Chains A and B, each alone.
Chain A
Amino acid sequence: MKDEQLRERRLVYYKDDFDQIEKLLDEFLKLSNARCIFLIDKEGHLITQKGVTQTFNSSTLSALVAGAFAATKEMARILGETEFSVMFHQGKKDHIHLSLVGDRAITATVFDEKTTVGMVNLYAKELTSKLEKIFEIASKRVVQEQPLETGYSDSVRDRLDDMFKD
């Protein structure tokens, strides 16, 4: 059953859901006036990002956000909570607001003095409940797994070999 299990753990995102997700993120940015938003899965992989994100190293940010959430989960456990659903870090100019989406993803919103934490929190709540619905429907839908192209694994191996040629 091992492969089966791994396959279940695999997170797969399809085009239709994705279009909806991106639309919601755009709407959120407009409403909240935040600078940018990252949608990250709990394992630390970036799902997608919207807004002015060029200056950020998004894969590292994703790993750290997922790590921070995982760490606060332990904190929550000590308090007798299952987990905290919202986190907020305040900087001098830029701030970051993190919010759980269901049990698989996290949104990370970066914002500055153009808006307030209250506004971001308010719209983030709306956003996460909408995203949760999309994830829920997607996870139940009868889908045909689109296989990766045949030979994909071998090509990745070749690429690694090329990359690390001595």
Chain B
Amino acid sequence: MQINYAKKEVSCKLVYYGPGMSGKTTNLEVIHQKVPEHSKGEMTSIATEGDRTLFFDFLPLDLGQVRGMTTKFQLYTVPGQVYYSSTRKLVLQGADGVIFVADSQAEKLPENIESLKDLQTNLEEYGLKIDEIPLVIQWNKRDLPSAMVVEELDKKVNWMNASTTTAIAATGEGVLGTLKLAASLILDRLNTKEPGAAATPPRKAVSAPAPAEAPKAADAAKTEETPAPEKKEVYVAKINSDQISRQYFTQYCQIQYRLGARNDDVEDFKKFTPEEKRKLLEMLINHVLLLQDAKKRNIQPSKEEIETQVQDFAKRFKAKAELDGYLSRRKLSLDNLRNEATKNVIIGKIIQQVIPNLGERLKITEGDVRDFYGENAAKFGGKPIENVKNEVIAAIKGARKRALLEEFFGKLRQQAAIQVFNENI
């Protein structure tokens, strides 16, 4: 499907599939005859001398402007004969929907089944599943004496439970109904309201990849393996192949707020302005990118490394009880700290790999200290440089670290596909 906002056009591809002589080209011919002159494109056939379709038949249908978008359906047929398998696959590329024209005659049953299996295989090569793509099976040639009853055909052929129609394409009966049904199935996919969220709930809920950033989210994912009541997931962003649900994002915001709050007097539920949310989402995107990159590089922080980081943080408190008090007042858990620690450990490891001559860039010379002090003397309360040397060094380190991180995340973002669904934030 192509959606061209610049030209205000929508173009869908619908492919007629089925065994040889089942009536695919006839379907197209009937449509061609019935289309009003002004919407009709030329019908093109690439046929052999025996009048069998060689490559494909093609019929463009122009529906004109619909709600401001010029809407087109491109109808294709594939050659049915078994030996044209590779051409069939080519035509199927980019199909938004398939009409399978089946021959109802009893003696054609094996051919129908073989062709459907062929369709299944070819779809799979494009990463599509036969029971997921919009598919209509048309039981054609209902007028022939050896036509099997529909229930029987359904049982023997329609194992993927597709929608079905009946037709006598030679007289035109049922042709338009089939087309409309298939178009309808394709259009159902054009879920306009919630981009990023599926029209029907996805079969398996995809949660963000952060291993345990929010333990609650991880638990939720676990329970979802058992049949959970169907609930509609709304996503705020998609980063490469990972989606971030709104629920997860909300939790992330709250945890970041509690981690970063100036004092322990935190609100139960902090409300954020849209601007703050955007900032937090950018942070989360960085975090997800980091974890994805770590996975790619096969970087896994060990438990000890994480615990050391957590212990470093715990040193700020005189006793374990004080740390516990800090956490409980902020409604945080040790796991939240561990996640932050994991992030820091990974950053430390990746940056060594990614940023060239890191050692040199982090080296601070006497000259650096003098320059920085000179530029920011006011910040150090006018105290003589000898007295604040350590503070100056810490400030320089902080600034360099920020610059390195910015550079690093900039690199990650350049290579990533990031989609943000603003309306869901």
Name A residues whose Cβ lies closer than 8 Å to a Cβ of B. Answer: 1-7, 9-15, 17-19, 41-48, 57, 59-60, 63-64, 67, 70-71, 73-74, 139-140, 142-153, 155-157, 159-161, 163-164
Contact = CB atoms under 8 A, between A and B. Distances in A.
Given A45-B94, A140-B416, 16 more contacts: A1-B198, A6-B133, A10-B2, A13-B3, A13-B7, A14-B5, A17-B6, A18-B6, A18-B7, A19-B6, A41-B2, A70-B93, A140-B418, A147-B195, A153-B187, A159-B71
B90 A74 contact: yes
Contacts of A6: 1, 96, 133, 189
Contacts of B11: 45-46
**Most-contacted residue by chain B among A41, A42, A142, A157 (CB, 10 A):** A142
Contact of B67 (A48, A57, A64, A151): A151
A8 to B, nearest CB: 9
A67 B55 CA distance: 8
B210 interface: no
8 contacts: A3-B191, A6-B1, A12-B4, A43-B13, A59-B74, A60-B44, A147-B192, A157-B184
Contact of B3 (A43, A70, A148): A148
A44 B74 contact: yes
Contacts of B80: none
**Most-contacted residue by chain B among A1, A2, A47 (CB, 10 A):** A2
Interface string B83-124: 000110011011010000000000000000000000000000
B66 A156 contact: yes
Interface of B: 1-7, 10-11, 13, 34-36, 39, 41-42, 44, 55-56, 58, 60, 63-64, 66-69, 71-72, 74, 76, 86-87, 90-91, 93-94, 96, 127-129, 132-133, 176, 179-180, 183-184, 187-193, 195-196, 198-200, 202-204, 206, 414-423
Contact of B60 (A60, A139, A148): A60
Contacts of B86: 74
Contacts of A140: 414-418
Nearest to B238: A4
B92 to A, nearest CB: 10
Contacts of A48: 4, 7
A13 B6 CA distance: 7
Contacts of A159: 63-64, 66, 71
Nearest to B204: A1
Contacts of A153: 187-188, 190, 192
Contact of B193 (A18, A41, A147): A147
**Interface SS majority for chain A:** helix
Q: Please provide the 10 A-B residue pairs with the shortest distance between their CB atoms, ordered closest to farther.
A: A43-B94, A18-B6, A145-B195, A2-B132, A153-B187, A70-B90, A45-B2, A59-B60, A3-B198, A147-B192
Nearest to A4: B198
B58 to A, nearest CB: 5
A145 B41 contact: no
B94 A9 contact: yes
Given A157-B180, A160-B183, A2 B129 contact: yes
Given A70-B93, A142-B419, A145-B421, A163 B7 contact: no
A19 B4 CA distance: 12
Contacts of B200: 3
Contact of A142 (B190, B195, B420): B420
Nearest to A149: B67
A44 B73 CA distance: 11
B6 A15 contact: yes
B13 A3 contact: no
A163 B44 CA distance: 21
A164 B175 CA distance: 11
A19 B200 CA distance: 35
Nearest to B43: A60
A11 B183 contact: no
A5 B67 contact: no
A144 B421 contact: yes
A78 to B, nearest CB: 10
Contact of A4 (B1, B35, B55, B202): B202
B403 to A, nearest CB: 23
**Most-contacted residue by chain B among A12, A74, A164 (CB, 10 A):** A164
Contacts of B74: 44-45, 59, 63
B34 A164 contact: yes
B32 to A, nearest CB: 12
Contacts of A41: 2, 94
Contacts of A18: 4, 6-7
A71 B56 CA distance: 12
